[in-house]
Structure 1
Amino acid sequence: MDTITKTERPQTPEQALVAEYVARARKAQAAFAYADQETTDMAVRAVAWSLYKPEHARMLAELAVEDTGIGNVPDKVTKNTRKTFGTLRDLLRAKSVGIIEEDKAKGLVKYAKPVGVVAAITPSTNPAATPINKAMMAIKGRNAIIMASSPSGLKTTCKTVELARQALEALGLPPDLIQALPKASKPMTDALMKSVDLIVATGSQANVRAAYSSGTPAIGVGAGNVPVIIDDSADFKDAAEKITASKIFDNSTSCSSENSVTILDGVYDEAMAALKAAGGYLCTPEERQRVLSLLWVDGKLNRDLIAHDAKVLAEAFQLAPEAHSAKFFMVEEDGVGYDHPFSGEKLSLVLAVYRAKDYPAAKEQIRKILDFQGRGHSCGIHTKNMDHARDLAEDLEVVRVLVNQAHTFGNGGGFNSGLNFTLSMGCGTWGKNSITENLSLKNFLNITHLVTVIPEDKPSEEELFGPLWAKVGK
C-alpha cells in the first residue's frame, strides 16, 4: 500500500470548502498585488462606501440587531458610519504602494508589499463594522481577506461582504478579494487559520488563543474591562455626561465601554449626583443583589440580558419605578475578583462604582481591577491634574490612558485625539497580544528594506564602555 503523505491526506468536506475559498482569494490577490496607489485607494473607498452608504448602514444595523439580539439600531448605524469614515481618513493619508519611507542619513528605503491572504475572525458585537474595518486595511495593503464570523453574526457579516464584493466588481476588481465563510463552524475556522498568511482575530479570548496557536502569524486583541477615575479636580458634569454617553452606546457592547468608576471620597457625593443627573440610577442593596443573581447564570453572563435596552433590564431586575427612565444602572462595589463579579466586564448597562480615600488609593483600585480582568487594554481618568494622568500612564500596565474622554468614542480612534480608528485594539504582552497599539495599515504590510552604504558609524570602545570602566574598572 502506498504511504499517504500529510499533504495527500483526504480532506473533510469543510476543509475542502475552505481550500476553495483560499484558492479564490490567492488568485484575486495575485491579480491585485501590483495595483498602483490610485487603484488601491479607489478600492478602499469603494469598500468603505459599501457600508457607509446611508441605506446600507441602516439596513446592516437593523440586520445585526435582529441577527445577534444585542445592541441597538441607532448606535450601530453610528458605529457603521463613524468607524468607517475615520478609518478611511487614516488610510487615504497613508502610502501602501512602492516607497513608503526613505531615510537618507541611514541609507534606508522602505518598500511596501502585501502580506497575502488574511483571515479575519469577527465578533457578534460588530458583525458589519468590524469586517469592513479589517477589509479596508487589508485592501489598502493589496491583500485578500476572508471573514470567519461568529455564529450569531453570520447573516449580517455575509450580507456585509456581499455588498463589499459588489462594490469591487463595479470597479472591475476581483470580488474574491473579500469573502466570508458560509458557515460559522470551528473546523472551518481552524482550517482557514492554517491556510492563510496572516490572522487578525477580534472577539472571544478563546478565538484569540486559537489564532495564536494555529501556526500562522496572528494578531489578536485582549479582553476589555475599562476602569476610570473621577478625581477631586474633575469637571463632574462633563465627566458624568461623557461616561454616560460612552456607557450606553450600543448597550455597552464595546470592549472600550466603562465597566467601573472609582471616585475619590472627598467628592463622592458630588460626582454621584452628576452621574445620576446624566441618567444613572443607583441600585439599593436589595436591588444590587437581584442584579447580581440575574446578570450571571452559573458564573457566566446571561445572554438574555447582556447588551439589552435599559428598560428591559429595569424590568428584569425588578427595579424601582424611577429606574425605568434611567439610561444605565450603578451598583456600589468594594471588592475585586471572581467573588465580586461586578469588578469584571459586564457587557451591559451596569456600572460598578468604587470609592477611594485619595488618588493613590484610586490608582491602586483600578490596578487591582485590571489585574483581575482587562490588563493591557486601557483605563481613563477625569481630571484637571495632568500629573495624575501622567502617573497612570507611567505606572499602569495598559496600552491606552484616556484623559477626560468618553472611552468608547476615544479608545478606538477619534477626530479629536491621535489614536487611529480601529475596531481591534492590541493590549501588548500584558493582554497576551503581539501588538501594543490599535490595529492599523502597518499590520497588513510586509516591508522590504533597501540598504545602501553610509559613512561609517562606529563609536570608540571608550564611548561605549567608558562609564562602566569608570565605575568597576576594566
Structure 2
Amino acid sequence: MVKEEQIEAIVREVLRRIDREDIKLNEDKHQLGVFDKMEDAIEAAKDAFEKFSNMTLEDRERFISEIRKATLENARVLAEMGVKETGMGKVEHKVLKHQLVAKKTPGTEDLKTQAWSGDKGLTLVEMAPFGVIGAITPSTNPSETIICNSIGMIAAGNAVVFSPHPGAKRVSNFAVDMINRAIIRAGGPENLVVSIKEPSINTTNAMIKHPDVKLLVATGGPEIVKIVLSSGKKAIGAGAGNPPVVVDETADIKKAAKDIIDGCTFDNNLPCIAEKEVIAVEKIYRDLLDEILKQGVYKLNALQISKLENLVLMDGKLNKKLVGKDAKVILDQIGINVSDDIRCIICETDEDHPFVMEELMMPILPIVKAKNIDDAIRIAVKAEKNNRHTAHIHSKNIDNITRYAKAINTTILVKNAPSYAGIGFGGEGFTTFTIAGPTGEGLTSAQTFTRMRRCVLADGLRII
C-alpha cells in the first residue's frame, strides 16, 4: 500500500519536472523584448515609448499590477533559475526577494505634483519621463533588479533597455519576457521593456553611447558606475558597499547576534546592504561572540583564517567563484567538513584584516574588538570606506546611534534589526535593488526616473 507521504513526494517531483519543462519551453520559444542587436532593441523601445506616451496613469498602474502578479506567480521559477545559472545564493531567499519586489516596489503613487497659486496665476511642476532608459544590471540580484527597475521606470512613464550581466543573461531575459507578456495582457505596447540576447561589454557600450538613450542607470560594481558617470549623460550609479555593524554595551546581545547572522547569511551575503563585518565594544565582545556561536556558525582558528584568506583573496583579488556560495561549500575547500545547518563562517580579526576591508559577498563574517563606542565608530568608518551605502548598529543609546549616524554618513542606517529591514523586509518603507549612493539619489523609485517640468499660467486660474 502506498503511503500518503509517498504520494505527496511523487506529486512534488512531477510538478518539479513540469516546472522545468515550462522553463525550457519559455526559453526555446521567441522571447518578447529580447533582441539579437542592441540597436534593434533600442529602436523597439523607442517605438514602444511613443505609444506609451499617449497612455494614462491608470494604464501604467494596470501594467504594473500585472507585472506584480506575474512576479509572484513566477517567484520560485526565477529564484531557481537564478541560483542554477549564477551558482550564487539560496533559492528560498531569492523567492522572498522576488515577493518583496512584487509587493513593495512603488508604482505611480510615488509621483507627486507640486503647485503654486498666487496673484500672478498658477504654476505646476510635474514629474515627466526621460524616454528610453538604459539600465545595467548585476549577476547578484539579476531578475530582482530588472523587475524592480521595470516597475519604477514604467510608473515614471519610460521605456527601458536592459544590459544584463552576461553571467545572468538567461534568468534576466526570462524576466524581460515575463514582463512584456504581463504588459501585453494588460493592454500595453510590446517592447516597453527590452534586453539583448547575448550581452557583453560591447553591447553595453553601444547602449551607453546611443543617442536615443536619455538616462543611464547602473547597478553593480564601481567600474561600471565610473563608465556611466563618464558618459556625458544623466546617470544614476548604484555602487558597491561594505556595510559594518557596530554593537555597543547597551545592545540586546541575544537579539543582536541573531539579527546579525540572519542578515549576513541572507542569500549568502549577496545583497549589497548585508552585514559584512562586526565591530563590538570590548565590554560585551565575548558575550556577543558566545551568542553568535549559537546561530549555526563555524568559528575558525588563526591557521584556518590564513588558509581561508589565501582561498578567498587569491593574489589579493576576490575569488569570484566563491561569491554567494554556501558556508559549507567554502569550508570544504579548506578541508573542513561541516553539516548543512552551518550557515556562516566566523573569524576573529583585527581592524585591518582583508576580510574587514574588502567586500566579500560570502557568508564570512569577521568580528573586531573595539575599546569603546568611539573606537568602534572609527573602525566602522574606515571599513565602510566612504561608499556611503549602508551601515548597521545595535544599541539602545540614542546618543551613540546619533554619533554613529553622523560619522558613517551612509544612505541606509539600520538600527536593531537585520540588514534587510533597510529595504522594507521586516521594516517599514518601500523596497529597491538599486541604491544610488555614489550619485546621491539613495533608494531609487519611480520619481527617481523622472525629470521636472514646469508649466506656468500667468494671471489665470487663481480663483480666490
Indicate the residue corresponding to 1:91 in structure 2: 107
Tell whether 2:361 aligns with 1:344.
no
TM-score by length of 1: 0.84
Indicate the residue corresponding to 1:123 in structure 2: 138
SS of the residue corresponding to residue 304 of structure 1 reads helix
Indicate the residue corresponding to 1:398 in structure 2: 410
Residue 398 (structure 2) aligned to one of 380, 386, 410: 386
Structure 2 counterparts to residues 4-403 of structure 1, below 5 A: 17-53=37-73, 56-87=74-105, 90-95=106-111, 100-104=113-117, 108-195=123-210, 196-319=213-336, 325-336=341-352, 340-371=354-385, 375-403=387-415
Quote the offset at 1:81 in angstroms.
1.0
Counterpart contact for 1:120–1:200, Cα < 8 Å:
yes
Quote the offset at 1:327 in angstroms.
1.6
Determine the C-alpha separation between the residues in 2 that align with 1:174 and 1:452: 34
Quote the offset at 1:154 in angstroms.
0.4
Counterpart contact for 1:141–1:441, Cα < 8 Å:
yes
SS of the residue corresponding to residue 137 of structure 1 reads helix
**CA offsets, 1:78-123, max 9 Å, x none?**
1111122111xx3253347xxx222447954222221100111000
SS of the residue corresponding to residue 54 of structure 2 reads coil
Distance 1:144 1:322, change over 3 A: closer
SS of the residue corresponding to residue 306 of structure 2 reads helix
Quote the offset at 1:323 in angstroms.
7.3
SS of the residue corresponding to residue 175 of structure 1 reads coil
Quote the offset at 1:19 in angstroms.
2.0
Counterpart contact for 1:86–1:415, Cα < 8 Å:
no
Which sections of structure 1, spanning at least 5 residues, go unmatched?
A: 1-14, 428-432, 455-474
Determine the C-alpha separation between the residues in 2 that align with 1:17 and 1:214: 21
Determine the C-alpha separation between the residues in 1 that align with 2:249 and 2:225: 39
Quote the offset at 1:414 in angstroms.
4.1
SS of the residue corresponding to residue 220 of structure 2 reads coil
Which sections of structure 2, spanning at least 5 residues, go unmatched?
A: 1-34, 460-464
AA of the residue aligned to 1:182: K
Determine the C-alpha separation between the residues in 2 that align with 1:193 and 1:132: 21
Indicate the residue corresponding to 1:445 in structure 2: 450
SS of the residue corresponding to residue 411 of structure 2 reads strand
Determine the C-alpha separation between the residues in 2 that align with 1:104 and 1:242: 50
Quote the offset at 1:38 in angstroms.
1.0
Counterpart contact for 2:356–2:383, Cα < 8 Å:
no
Determine the C-alpha separation between the residues in 2 that align with 1:121 and 1:324: 35
SS of the residue corresponding to residue 197 of structure 1 reads strand
Determine the C-alpha separation between the residues in 1 that align with 2:171 and 2:162: 12
Determine the C-alpha separation between the residues in 2 that align with 1:151 and 1:17: 15
Determine the C-alpha separation between the residues in 2 that align with 1:171 and 1:381: 44
Indicate the residue corresponding to 1:412 in structure 2: 423
Indicate the residue corresponding to 1:430 in structure 2: none
Distance 1:237 1:104, change over 3 A: farther
| Count of aligned pairs between the two proteins | 421
Indicate the residue corresponding to 1:425 in structure 2: 435
Give percent identity, aligned residues only.
27
**CA offsets, 1:28-53, max 9 Å, x none?**
10111132121110111122222221
Indicate the residue corresponding to 2:28 in structure 1: none
Quote the offset at 1:222 in angstroms.
2.2
AA of the residue aligned to 1:167: A
Counterpart contact for 2:176–2:195, Cα < 8 Å:
yes
AA of the residue aligned to 1:357: K
Quote the offset at 1:442 in angstroms.
1.2
Counterpart contact for 1:259–1:352, Cα < 8 Å:
yes
SS of the residue corresponding to residue 251 of structure 1 reads helix
Distance 1:436 1:168, change over 3 A: closer
Determine the C-alpha separation between the residues in 2 that align with 1:243 and 1:383: 13
Alignment RMSD: 2.1
AA of the residue aligned to 2:145: T
SS of the residue corresponding to residue 163 of structure 2 reads strand
AA of the residue aligned to 1:256: I
Quote the offset at 1:16 in angstroms.
9.8
Determine the C-alpha separation between the residues in 2 that align with 1:95 and 1:341: 41
Determine the C-alpha separation between the residues in 2 that align with 1:137 and 1:323: 41
TM-score by length of 2: 0.86
Distance 1:378 1:440, change over 3 A: same
Determine the C-alpha separation between the residues in 2 that align with 1:217 and 1:342: 34
